[in-house]
Structure 1
Amino acid sequence: MSEAAPQDLVARIGACRICADRFAATATAHAPRPVAWFRPGARLLIAGQAPGARVHASGRPFTDPSGDRLRDWLGIDAATFYDRDRVAVVPMAFCFPGYDARKADLPPPPICAATWHGQVMEALDSVELKVLVGAHAIRWHLGVKGPLTEAVRGWRDHFPGALPLPHPSWRNTGWLKRNPWFAVEVLPALRARVREVLQ
């Protein structure tokens, strides 16, 4: 695939409005704002869930405390993380899905991945490591179902090509405390592999 084609794909994703009615019906009643952050040649893929409200406002992925934690897990700085020639950030839905009536995040609409992800993965043919953040990304990329803890605990089954992670949200701080093996076993392997891929 030529380099022009993926950039055209980014533009087409940026113009996508297939969820406009869905988002208008949420508690946030917002308009779509797809955040497509990738270029051909990227060697590291960050596959997340969906942009949050802060990312919806900024137009840049992981511009929130969860992004700070994720960059710490990866062992890279913000300049490296936002270098689209090296790192692709492709969530399971490119837009903020909105909140429900209780102010809880809605899940990523499956229509987004069904519409775009096959094309995006074809464009990103230089990726050497897929970092899969959260259950939605793990399920789509690895076909792994069941509890997230078990998926992350089985990280060696997919390494070095892919590595499943919990979401770095503050909501998972309790999970991290209950699972100290994650920091001891997974993060050193992740950081070493990221260094290897990005060198």
Structure 2
Amino acid sequence: MQDLLQNIKQCKICKDVLTLGPRPVMVAYPESKIVIVGQAPGTKVHASGIPWDDASGKQLRSWLGVTPEQFYNPENFAIIPMGFCYPGKGKTGDLPPRPECAPKWHQPVLDSLKQVELVLLIGIYSQNYYLKNEAKKTLTETVRNYNEYFPKYLPLPHPSPRNRFWLTKNPWFELDVLPELKARVQAIL
């Protein structure tokens, strides 16, 4: 697995379209128990090289009910975004994850993980990629029907502070999904 991770860290497959250049950010370990499949690093994570090293990461750790030490222990969590590098700025936020990463790297990484008990699918890109035809028409419907994907997958919205409106509009997420998520994570860890 070390060779695979080294190859990912040196990846330059989409260097010509990355405004800040390539800097793949991901973490995996053969004994990782939970896989987090997010979108792509933002500018802060691109700068630090530490996955989820921003306000979204703080919110995600709160949702999971874990400490930063638990979260950044690769025996607990593998962090494999849909796009490993910052994709650039769009009109209303960051651009979507680059489409090259997941098809090239995800399966080899997942094949190297021997202890996975749960895959968290954060955001519409990972849900559509992994759930394919089983994903609902909207992220909200997919997350609301999270129990259909258990025990392998658990779909979540993005924990960005920008999603406050979604969280306010969907109180069932905090009442129903988060307790289930925390209980499952604690049972695995």
What's the TM-score, normalizing by structure 2? 0.96
Q: Percent identical across equivalent pairs?
A: 48
1:197 correspondence with 2:188: yes
What is the match of residue 140 of structure 1?
129
- Which segment drifts farther, 134-143 or 70-79? 134-143
RMSD: 1.1
Alpha-carbon displacement from aligned partner over 1:63-98 (angstroms, at most 9, x marks no partner): 000001000000001000000122101100111111
CA distance in 2, matches of 1:85, 1:7: 14
Match of 1:8 among 3, 13, 17: 3
* Structure-to-structure mapping, 1:122-161, within 5 angstroms: 122-143=111-132, 144-161=135-152
Q: Which ranges in structure 1 are unaligned for 5 or more consecutive residues?
A: 1-5, 24-28
Once superposed, which parts of structure 1, at least 4 consecutive aligned residues long, lie more than 4 Å away?
none
Number of residue equivalences: 187
* Structure-to-structure mapping, 1:25-44, within 5 angstroms: 29-44=19-34
Q: Which ranges in structure 2 are unaligned for 5 or more consecutive residues?
A: none
CA distance in 2, matches of 1:178, 1:86: 32
What is the match of residue 97 of structure 1?
87
Alpha-carbon displacement from aligned partner over 1:30-84 (angstroms, at most 9, x marks no partner): 1100012111110011110001100000001000000010000000010000001
Match of 1:17 among 2, 5, 12: 12
Match of 1:51 among 23, 26, 41: 41
